[in-house]
Chain A
């Protein structure tokens, strides 16, 4: 009875998975560029951002078309409006991965090896992005809660990173510029965690019709 609509919803879900996976790759490349001190990989992260921007426009067009053609209500309406909010957060994630990539060439080959927590932040943020999209596609509330709780891991790692960097600067002032660059990178990763949390909260809205309660 609603074959066309269901096939449009499937397309939307597939595109969201693709965009989420492009975001994961962008984070992966940016962090790899940092850890290997490789400016070429950093450029690649930037090219992914353009691809992610294009995906955002494509998905937006699909959502607008579905709103126009299907005039969805109830859960259908919530899923489509949540998708339109989610892609905004994913687009920001792409930007921030690119921003990290842009900093890497200025590190002169240094790799942030002093800050183990940056790697932890990157891995956790990637997992959050992947899980939040999985939660959307499978309408999985347990996964939503997991993503939201994972943001604490990122935030705690960010706090420790700041401590480490303060310590590095105070013991060697010549590292000041390097440490500030690392701080920026850590901040971008922390923001990526926040965007993944936003995505999870929109998934919660699409499932329950309620926004996550402010903690």
Chain B
């Protein structure tokens, strides 16, 4: 079952076309890796999925993206509601300069939850879900900025999960992390995909092979190939995919 579907999606930054006729169906409760050389459009595509590109004035979009059958660009769609359903985790951990607890409670509070006991539950559940609870449970009131990079990134994943999204977009979530933290985040994604759909941009081919179910290869704004990860990394169908993943260009 696909949860997000893009049809003939084109996107321009001013006169520059960054996405060209993207057609893709992202399967639910699985991990989809987006790969491709820098500037190929994969991050643009990721950001389009929860309308983060709306913030850039010169952007023009054609084609459709549906989430659960609903057009995400329809005038009736509230962007805040969309981003509650489709959360984002960035390349560089970006905790808010506040306590660990308040980082997680921030989202639920903005959506109107004020009850302390309810918030406590949400915070614990999110931190448990992001596999960081045991490391921070005794210092929830301390600043999140005191955490290590890997902990901060898991905190950001917990923060994204606190508003109970269905989809998590991750833009190179481990590229700034050491191998141990990377491995913790990778393990976490395997847990999360039971309940969430994860779409992840990565420059690390081995990471795509290790953790993703499907891989999409972007090149010069086009979606060159999309399919089962194991298949793509053992028998890519398109020569451009083969050349990229074997390091012949990029």
Is B246 a contact of A76 with CB atoms below 8 Å?
yes
Contacts of A2 in B (CB 8 A): 246-248
Encoded as 1 (CB less than 8 Å from any B CB) or 0, chain A from 55 to 82 comes to 0000000000000000111111110000
**Total of A-B residue pairs, C-beta within 8 Å:** 33
Q: CA–CA, A75 to B234, complex, Å? A: 7
Contacts of B242 in A (CB 8 A): 74-75
Instruction: Using known A-B contacts A209-B234, A209-B235, determine if residue A74 contacts B245 with beta carbons closer than 8 Å.
Output: yes
A5 in contact (CB, < 8 A): yes
- Which of the four size classes fits the interface of chain B? 10 to 19
- In the complex, chain B residues 195-247 whose Cβ is within 8 Å of any chain A Cβ: 205-206, 209, 233-236, 241-242, 245-247
Number of interface residues of A (CB under 8 A): 12
Is B245 a contact of A73 with CB atoms below 8 Å?
yes
Q: CA–CA, A72 to B233, complex, Å? A: 9
Contacts of A77 in B (CB 8 A): 233-234
Instruction: Using known A-B contacts A209-B234, A209-B235, determine if residue A75 contacts B246 with beta carbons closer than 8 Å.
Output: yes
Q: CA–CA, A71 to B248, complex, Å? A: 14
Contacts of A1 in B (CB 8 A): 247-249
Is A74 a contact of B236 with CB atoms below 8 Å?
yes
Contacts of A72 in B (CB 8 A): 246
Q: CA–CA, A78 to B233, complex, Å? A: 10
B230 to chain A, nearest CB (A): 10
B188 to chain A, nearest CB (A): 22
Encoded as 1 (CB less than 8 Å from any B CB) or 0, chain A from 126 to 145 comes to 00000000000000000000
Q: Considering only CB atoms, which chain B residue lies closest to A209 in the complex?
A: B235
Q: CA–CA, A107 to B36, complex, Å? A: 66
- In the complex, chain A residues 1-21 whose Cβ is within 8 Å of any chain B Cβ: 1-2, 5
Contacts of A75 in B (CB 8 A): 242, 246
Contacts of A73 in B (CB 8 A): 205, 209, 233-234, 245-246
Q: Considering only CB atoms, which chain B residue lies closest to A5 in the complex?
A: B247
Can you report 11 residue pairs joining A to B where beta carbons are below 8 Å apart?
A1-B249, A2-B248, A71-B205, A71-B206, A73-B246, A74-B236, A74-B242, A74-B246, A77-B234, A78-B234, A209-B234
Other than the known A71-B206, A73-B205, what 16 A-B pairs have Cβ atoms closer than 8 Å? A1-B247, A2-B246, A71-B205, A72-B246, A73-B233, A73-B245, A74-B233, A74-B234, A74-B235, A74-B236, A74-B245, A75-B242, A75-B246, A77-B234, A78-B234, A78-B235
Q: List 8 tightest A-B contacts by C-beta distance, closest first.
A: A209-B235, A73-B233, A2-B247, A73-B245, A74-B242, A76-B246, A74-B236, A71-B206
A residues adjacent to B (C-beta < 8 A): 1-2, 5, 71-78, 209
